[in-house]
Chain A
């Protein structure tokens, strides 16, 4: 029941954090000189990306712990984190595109950072494809842990390779200089909010998955 308490605390915390975050983004943060109001999506974009990174780190660590301990709870934790990671990285790609259209005049550019995010997304969608194709619970956990580990380690390699590749071609875009101090504070607040959202989603989904698992065991017992 400890999980329930964590979920309740996080829920009430988010009731304060989310409205405050939106207030700061739309009312307190100054409007960017060149990009105008559209720049405000940046606060969400970067924060969601931080949440996604946290979730994928969760997949990686839970996968290692599963292979080490063979406890199915770690597999549930890895799968839960992967679900949140895929959701958040999809949002990262969408918000990035919405921002890029008015600012760079394109929906998409083959920038190393974008490319790495897209590949990360592909890897974790593949993770779920694999899971859906294996019936045996333990085997499913074992195999997806392998993907969870290799996928995470592959990301810096992809990042490095694409950066190297792009260094041959002219860079299409360059990020602007430092942020204004107020903007920086809003950004940090927004990142904190989304980290809390990610943790909340994790516990919420984790509890649900545990209940599902328990239900399945009970059903099986009844059938026997």
Chain B
């Protein structure tokens, strides 16, 4: 119980920091809105092709805005070695990791809801909102996968002199299975395609468990000096 209590404290700290500083979530929201506008020009989205393009566009936006947000939260920890005060406190590395995963997950989910809402408004695609209950499992599990790997990798790259710039290079190849699962299952649901969306959702759950186990073991080595 103490273990989760510590993780919740870290989550609370991050929420508080976000409310006071507005450093990561506002950037994520702004970037996702901007990307929606860019995609509109790049792909010439209209009522006929919006359904087939939606899942690809949305997941690209989730990935890039997510990278930006997760990079920011880790840099905040690295600033003046702030994370060391947590390392030296009785909080275990595992609690620290879970706390950071939860805060990243929360910010990513808020960004995704915002993006979905604006996607529906800007491209006149209300179907995506009405299908939200079906989309939710894939969205949640995909985002959890992003957050599990992203938390580990953003901490890793923030120690490098390239900082956040390095994050996509390391992070994107590793999360390819999650992106694949998210895009494909969303595409199947939005376009009533045959081929099991639920199979992909199960697969995403398996990936999440694997990434969770690996990252939980390895996170200790990133924060220990």
Interface residues of A (CB under 8 A from B): 67, 119, 122-123, 125-127, 129-130, 133-135, 139, 142-143, 145-147, 149-151, 153-154, 157-158, 160-162, 164-165, 168
* Nearest CB in chain B: distance from A179 CB, A: 32
User: Which among A126, A134, A149, A160 is the interface contact of B218 at CB below 8 angstroms?
Assistant: A149
7 additional A-B pairs beyond A126-B166, A150-B215, beta carbons within 8 Å, are A139-B159, A139-B225, A143-B221, A150-B149, A158-B176, A161-B181, A162-B176
* Nearest CB in chain A: distance from B176 CB, A: 5
Cβ-defined contact, B174 with A129, below 8 A:
no
Per-residue A-contact encoding for B159-178, CB less than 8 Å = 1, 0 else: 11110001001101110110
Cβ-defined contact, A126 with B173, below 8 A:
yes
Cβ-defined contact, A67 with B221, below 8 A:
yes
Cβ-defined contact, B195 with A133, below 8 A:
no
Cβ-defined contact, A129 with B162, below 8 A:
yes
Cβ-defined contact, B221 with A142, below 8 A:
yes
Interface residues of B (CB under 8 A from A): 149, 152, 156-157, 159-162, 166, 169-170, 172-174, 176-177, 180-181, 184, 195, 199-200, 203, 207, 210, 214-215, 218, 221-222, 224-225
User: Which residues of A sit under 8 angstroms from B199, Cβ to Cβ?
Assistant: 164
Give the docked Cα–Cα distance between A176 and B156 (Å).
44
Q: Which of B195, B210, B218 is packed against the most chain A CB atoms within 10 Å?
A: B218
User: Which residues of B sit under 8 angstroms from A123, Cβ to Cβ?
Assistant: 170, 173-174
User: Which residues of A sit under 8 angstroms from B149, Cβ to Cβ?
Assistant: 150
Cβ-defined contact, A165 with B184, below 8 A:
yes
Nearest B residue (CB) for A165: B180
User: Which among B161, B166, B181, B218 is the interface contact of A150 at CB below 8 angstroms?
Assistant: B218
The tally of CB-CB contacts under 8 A between chains A and B is 88
Cβ-defined contact, B174 with A151, below 8 A:
yes
User: Which among A133, A160, A164 is the interface contact of B160 at CB below 8 angstroms?
Assistant: A133
User: Which residues of A sit under 8 angstroms from B207, Cβ to Cβ?
Assistant: 157, 161
User: Which among A129, A139, A147, A158 is the interface contact of B177 at CB below 8 angstroms?
Assistant: A158
User: Which residues of B sit under 8 angstroms from A165, Cβ to Cβ?
Assistant: 180, 184
* Nearest CB in chain B: distance from A80 CB, A: 20
Cβ-defined contact, A154 with B159, below 8 A:
no
Cβ-defined contact, B166 with A130, below 8 A:
yes
User: Which residues of B sit under 8 angstroms from A126, Cβ to Cβ?
Assistant: 166, 169-170, 173
User: Which residues of A sit under 8 angstroms from B195, Cβ to Cβ?
Assistant: 168
User: Which among A119, A134, A147, A164 is the interface contact of B176 at CB below 8 angstroms?
Assistant: A119
Q: Which of B176, B222, B224 is packed against the most chain A CB atoms within 10 Å?
A: B176
* Nearest CB in chain A: distance from B93 CB, A: 13
Q: Which of A130, A146, A158, A165 is packed against the most chain B CB atoms within 10 Å?
A: A146
Cβ-defined contact, B159 with A146, below 8 A:
no
Nearest B residue (CB) for A122: B173
